[in-house]
Structure 1
């Protein structure tokens, strides 16, 4: 039997339908490059022809990273300070574009820019990993929020598991790390809020393997601790990858 998915208040939590098996392989994308370089995703034959690459989670490698993370079941939450992570969407890689537009340009297809040589993405289509749906994005006061940028490991969660002790520069780097950022459906991002895997996994179950793999990669990269409920759900998910 898998872990009991319950929210801290004892109520139900958002979780995927686990009655169907998770997809065993995924297409290589720019967003998966860092995980492949870290040895957490390995190429497999896709059967789609020469040059078509699929990736599979190396469960043993992910388990090994997770095993090195200490457990932190903090009894009294620390007071979270969003401003301690710096300005929203800084240009930490100094490429002339803020991180929000970098992520939109990476994760959307058929994009349109504000002007030639501009960084600002004004339109495009998101094939949303969290819901498995396609979302038309158009920049504007009433439409921009339809596509949001998710911190895969949320800032508030990280604050409770180690980030409160970091320097300002470390927190700002974490908040803008492309490996921890994903363009997603806005409403789904809002429902996730600051939840860890113990309370929330993507509604599209086929994305859960990649999702928890990114979680473990970020935990290891920033030496974050992990709650026992989150660890249990990550481990349970990996058994089906």
Structure 2
């Protein structure tokens, strides 16, 4: 009898050890979780690193916490906090789909058979300081969207280096200002100027167009090659390669359309609606 008890206890210990090893292996392969604390600050288990030469680092994990660029969508009530399940006090964020759909429904349809001729000069000075903070809009966007910033000595407006956690490709990109390196990170007009020109901006005043071209709500620092591939496409032709960011991307599109009273084509509207259905 005593022998059987010892055998049973030994078997239970072995089973416990096996379960512990399985759990340890699962944790090792799961990677670090990223969440936000009750104060809204994003916690990263590891910081982005890189060399002095601009390059793309391995993919990074993203939660749904709003970045500084996303705050305008939070303030507009288009992104809401929800429980993340990552731990006590943690929060994530989701798109308020009904609110975005209501804004989209208010936009008129505009399917032009022949696109109007696009005039870039009609949008005024490139990277004008429209918010009057003493820094041009390009540097404002870099300062907002990059981490580990280095500013030019004697001129705190100029960003000379940093790391972009790119929402279009889910990669870290090392930015270093220079003739051969600056293009690694470009500033994207989420709603492109040429697209806006064809859907209402051609009838605006030059002041209105310059404001639109430099509106921080419509500007994101992104991977240069991906931005070039997007060109002037609307959502009907292009969405971010990192699909997890499509919900916020189309939400920003609708916000900008509503903010400037722009119309939207049938194809673009259909893809926005389909994307929102999956948010």
Q: 2:29 aligns to what?
A: none
- Determine whether 1:66 maps to 2:81: no
With normalisation by structure 1, the TM-score equals 0.88
Q: Which moved further from structure 2: 107-116 or 189-198?
A: 107-116
2:182 maps to what in 1? Answer: 144
Decide whether aligned partners of structure 1 residues 24 and 217 sit closer, same or farther in structure 2, where only a CA change above 3 A counts. Answer: farther
> Is 1:113 the counterpart of 2:154 in the alignment?
no
1:54 is matched with which residue?
92
The residue number in structure 2 matching 1:33 is 71
Aligned counterpart in structure 2 of residue 186 of structure 1, from 224, 227, 232: 224
User: Between Structure 1 and Structure 2, which shows a larger proportion of helix residues?
Assistant: 2
Q: Which shows bigger deviation, 43-52 or 205-214?
A: 43-52
TM-superposed deviation, 1:31: 1.0
- Residue 87 of structure 1: how far off its partner (Å): 1.0
**1:49 positional shift:** 4.6
Alignment of 1:149-188 (within 5 A): 149-188=187-226
Greater Rg by CA: 2
Any idea what SS the aligned residue of 1:118 has? strand
Distance in 2 of aligned mates of 1:37 and 1:27: 14
**Cα distance in 2 for residues equivalent to 1:75 and 1:168:** 25
SS of 1:31's partner is coil
- The runs of 5 or more residues in structure 1 that have no matched partner are 1-22
Cα deviation digits, residues 82-136 of structure 1 (max 9, x gap) = 0000111010000000000000000000010011552000000001000001100
Of 234, 246, 251, the residue aligned with 1:213 is 251
C-alpha contact 1:24 1:56 (8 A) present in aligned 2:
no
CA distance in 2: counterparts of 1:95 and 1:193, whole angstroms = 29
SS at the partner of 1:30? Answer: coil
Q: In structure 2, what is the Cα distance between the partners aligned to 1:51 and 1:111?
A: 29
Which structure has more RCO (C-alpha within 8 Å, separation ≥ 6)? 1
**Which has the larger displacement, 110-119 or 156-165?**
110-119
Structure 2: how far apart are the matches of 1:127 and 1:109? 8
Give the total of aligned pairs.
219
Q: Name the counterpart of 1:135.
A: 173
**Unaligned regions of 5+ residues in structure 2, if any?**
1-60
Q: C-alpha root-mean-square deviation of aligned residues, in Å?
A: 1.5
The question of 1:99 aligning with 2:156 is answered: no
Cα distance in 2 for residues equivalent to 1:117 and 1:48? 41
